[in-house]
């Protein structure tokens, strides 16, 4: 099968890029042909045969002229249509698997795929993995950055809420553009051309069901992680609780910092980067090791007593939770978004009230001081089975083929 992976970033940049690159790598190993389409970038690590990519759009460091034209280009991109057509004509894919495309690629690419199908008679399916809430929320994160509160107002289809609340970077102008984009593409009806929308959590499936153009197209398929090594070393747990990820407000870093203050006798290790490094350095019971990857990070995860996922935003399907559990490390997670779908409360970890430092501190203290419970959680984590790339692909290929989509929905609703 020929698969065209579409994502605006074609280099390691975040969770969605990890998904795209690792899935594409596995599909190639499994005998499928895979090419990629997205933006040109000096760090691009995958591509297509005709070397066709859209111009890199840098919203922060671009020229004055480029910034003037960005408002139009973020809604509709004729360049993206032209460039993806070159790839379609050359590669002749059986499926176009779209991932993150907002702003830089725009839904214009869907129109070009549909046009190409009609003109060539090619039966190419369009599959979209929803890494965020773009199809129902102009800001794509269901969160108001000004009030630092989660927001589901636009699920009613009135995207003017975005303008009123200045949901995009606190800017009226940017929020107007975001709302215009949402209204425009709804009027065009572009999302009805998507054959299947893969939701990474039941939570995201529920949110996207607010878009009537997606009726009958939504299916939940949780993310996959690397398969645990058969020769994994015996682990001696260390004396620390671990947070790894981005240091940002929506990730609940402020909630966790306050919980650390309330628990001066419990040591914490933070692995990541962001805007809160000074606050972390002020805490005597916190070690900030900075951004780490690969085996150093894997070792930190394996040896932690437990990890913490303190998000205050609507997380979709956080890799950090699954990676911890796969390493035999329980997770204390916020009761928000898709996190509760991954943690069996009282079995593989504990949930706490999102945004409440007291609730988080109580959960940490209780598990830290209860070795019997912690050992039980560790053993249960070792028995868990998350999707690997192989088992994920076994579910995905039938979706690509379109031969048992409704059977899959029926199975997940049993």
pLDDT attached to residue 105: 94
When pLDDT is cut at 50, 70 and 90, the band that residue 235 belongs to is: confident
pLDDT attached to residue 103: 83
pLDDT attached to residue 349: 98
**Residue 109 and residue 102: Cα distance in Å, rounded?**
11
Q: Which two tokens stand for residue 48?
A: 């297509």
pLDDT attached to residue 230: 57
33-37 sheet: strands from edge to edge: 33-37, 2-6, 95-98, 125-130, 196-199, 218-220
When pLDDT is cut at 50, 70 and 90, the band that residue 350 belongs to is: very high
Is the model's pLDDT at 403 over the cut of 80? no
Interval 209-230 mean pLDDT:
89
**Residue 142 and residue 309: Cα distance in Å, rounded?**
19
Q: What percent of the chain stands above pLDDT 70?
A: 92
Is the model's pLDDT at 359 over the cut of 90? yes
Dump strand ranges (E) for 66-157: 95-98, 125-130, 143-144, 149-150
Q: Which two tokens stand for residue 146?
A: 């000004």
DSSP-H helix ranges across 58-103: 64-73, 78-91
Interval 266-273 mean pLDDT:
97
pLDDT attached to residue 57: 75
**Residue 244 and residue 223: Cα distance in Å, rounded?**
18
Distances (CA, A) of 110 to 6, 69, 366: 11, 22, 50
Mean of the per-residue pLDDT values of the chain: 92
When pLDDT is cut at 50, 70 and 90, the band that residue 167 belongs to is: very high
Q: Dihedral sign for Cα 216, 217, 218, 224, please.
A: positive
Q: Which domains does the chain have, with CATH numbers?
A: 2-131+189-224+388-412 (3.40.50.2000), 241-382 (3.40.50.2000)
pLDDT tens per residue, range 3-30 = 999 999 999 888 899 999 999 999 999 9
Lowest mean pLDDT among 55-59, 74-78, 145-149: 55-59
């Amino acid at each position: 099968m020929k698969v065209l992976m579409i994502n605006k970033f074609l280099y390691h940049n975040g969770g969605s890029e990890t998904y795209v690159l690792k899935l594409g790598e596995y599909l190639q190993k499994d005998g499928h042909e895979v090419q990629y389409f997205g933006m040109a970038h000096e760090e691009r690590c995958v591509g297509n045969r005709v070397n066709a990519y859209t111009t890199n759009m840098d919203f922060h460091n671009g020229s004055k002229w480029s910034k003037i034209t960005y408002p139009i280009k973020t809604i509709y991109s004729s360049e993206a249509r032209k460039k993806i057509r070159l790839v379609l004509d050359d590669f002749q894919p059986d499926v176009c698997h779209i991932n993150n495309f907002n702003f830089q690629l725009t839904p214009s690419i869907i129109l070009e795929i549909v046009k190409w199908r009609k003109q060539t008679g090619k039966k190419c399916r369009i599959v979209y993995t929803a890494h965020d809430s773009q199809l129902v929320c102009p800001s794509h994160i269901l969160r108001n950055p000004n009030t630092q509160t989660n927001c589901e107002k636009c699920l009613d289809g009135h995207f003017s809420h975005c303008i009123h609340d200045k949901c995009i970077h606190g800017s009226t102008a940017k929020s107007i553009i975001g709302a215009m984009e949402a209204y425009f593409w709804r009027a065009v009806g572009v999302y009805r051309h998507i054959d299947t929308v893969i939701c990474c959590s039941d939570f995201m499936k529920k949110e996207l069901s607010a878009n009537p153009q997606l009726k009958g197209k939504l299916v939940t398929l949780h993310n996959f992680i690397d398969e645990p090594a058969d020769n994994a070393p015996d682990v001696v747990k260390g004396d620390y609780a671990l947070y790894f990820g981005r240091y940002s407000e929506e990730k609940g870093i402020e909630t966790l910092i306050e919980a650390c203050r309330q628990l001066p006798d419990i040591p914490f290790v933070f692995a990541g980067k962001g805007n809160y490094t000074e606050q972390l350095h002020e805490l005597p019971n916190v070690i900030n090791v900075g951004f780490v990857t690969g085996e150093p990070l894997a070792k930190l995860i394996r040896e932690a007593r437990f990890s913490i996922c303190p998000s205050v935003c609507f997380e979709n399907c956080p890799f950090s939770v699954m990676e911890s559990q796969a390493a035999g490390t329980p997770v204390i997670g916020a009761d928000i978004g898709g996190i509760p779908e991954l943690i069996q409360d009282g079995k593989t970890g504990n949930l706490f009230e999102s945004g409440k430092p007291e609730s988080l501190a109580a959960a940490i203290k209780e598990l830290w001081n209860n070795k019997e419970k912690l050992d039980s959680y560790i053993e249960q984590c070792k028995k868990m089975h998350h999707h690997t790339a192989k088992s994920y692909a076994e579910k995905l290929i039938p979706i690509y083929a379109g031969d048992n989509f409704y059977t899959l929905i029926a199975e997940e609703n049993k």
